[in-house]
């Protein structure tokens, strides 16, 4: 955690913390996933969400207002790729001993991260990442993520004040309110208008996060 605080972009430290503290959360999520018809279909088809997200030519061919188009603009603007989380996650010892189906589910959850950024409007700034992790904790309870969120809130309160706790709690509430995203047909959702996808999945605007961003911007001008 000290290393992550020193360098918030040290993604490998995030996975180290998750591996140390997550307990049985991955298998709990997998059991929920495999209980759905779509989950069983994805496992049977051995679908790779990563492969779809890396096919930028295909994503660029989809309609302008689709989730795919918004996702492609987001990763291009941020100069990132879905591959960016692969190497740090593969370094987790626990991943190497997973059953193939559980590993596929774990990879699929990992590869959704920037799709969730795109859908929720939480940016890749430190506050946005903390809020998205709080949203993720509501979707898939995990003590490792909760620990990162808690420490992140206290660190960011030095800059944003107590409003950061309100923003993170609102993100958690929004995660509870939304549909369960790990069991969604992302390959199909990518082709649909992003507004329709947000409505279908009950994704609410991150008002508290955006308010803090505006206040921080005004304070710096």
For 97, the domain range is: 2-220
Total of domains in the chain: 1
Determine the pLDDT at residue 57. Answer: 96
- Three-state SS string over 133-158 comes to HHHHHHHCCCHHHHHHHHHHHHHHHH
Mean pLDDT is lowest, of 20-24, 44-48, 115-119, for 20-24
**Which range is most confident: 14-18, 56-60, 90-94?**
56-60
- Residues in contact with 205: Cβ distance below 8 Å, sequence separation at least 6, in sequence order: 121
Neighbours of 47 (CB within 10 A): 16
**What's the burial of 118, exposed, middle or buried (CB within 10 Å: 0-12/13-18/19+)?**
buried
Confidence category of residue 19, pLDDT binned at 50, 70, 90: confident
Q: Among candidates 126, 195, 181, which has minimal Cα distance to 154?
A: 126
pLDDT at 24 over 70: yes
109, pLDDT greater than 90: yes
The H-or-E segment that residue 196 falls in is helix 194-201
Q: Which residue has the higher pLDDT, 89 or 123?
A: 123
> According to the model, what pLDDT value does residue 35 have?
97
pLDDT band at 184 (very low <50, low <70, confident <90, very high): very high
pTM over 0.95: no
Tell me the torsion sign for CA atoms 65, 110, 29, 124.
negative
């Amino acid at each position: 955690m000290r290393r992550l605080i020193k360098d918030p972009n040290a993604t490998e430290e995030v996975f180290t913390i998750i591996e140390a503290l997550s307990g049985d959360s991955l298998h709990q999520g997998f059991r929920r996933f495999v209980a759905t018809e779509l989950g069983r279909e994805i496992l049977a088809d051995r679908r790779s969400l990563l492969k779809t997200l890396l096919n930028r030519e295909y994503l660029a061919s989809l309609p302008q207002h689709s989730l795919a188009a918004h996702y492609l603009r987001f990763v291009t603007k941020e100069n990132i790729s879905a591959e960016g989380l692969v190497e740090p996650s593969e370094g987790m010892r626990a991943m190497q001993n997973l059953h193939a189906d559980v590993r596929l589910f774990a990879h699929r959850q990992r590869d959704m991260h920037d799709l969730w950024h795109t859908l929720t409007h939480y940016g890749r700034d430190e506050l946005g990442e903390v809020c998205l992790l709080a949203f993720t904790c509501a979707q898939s309870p995990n003590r490792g993520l909760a620990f990162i969120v808690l420490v992140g809130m206290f660190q960011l309160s030095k800059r944003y004040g107590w409003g950061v706790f309100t923003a993170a709690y609102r993100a958690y509430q929004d995660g509870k309110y939304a549909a369960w995203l790990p069991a969604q047909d992302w390959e199909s959702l990518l082709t649909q208008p992003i507004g329709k996808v947000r409505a279908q999945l009950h994704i609410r605007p991150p008002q508290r996060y955006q308010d803090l961003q505006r206040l921080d911007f005004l304070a710096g001008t």
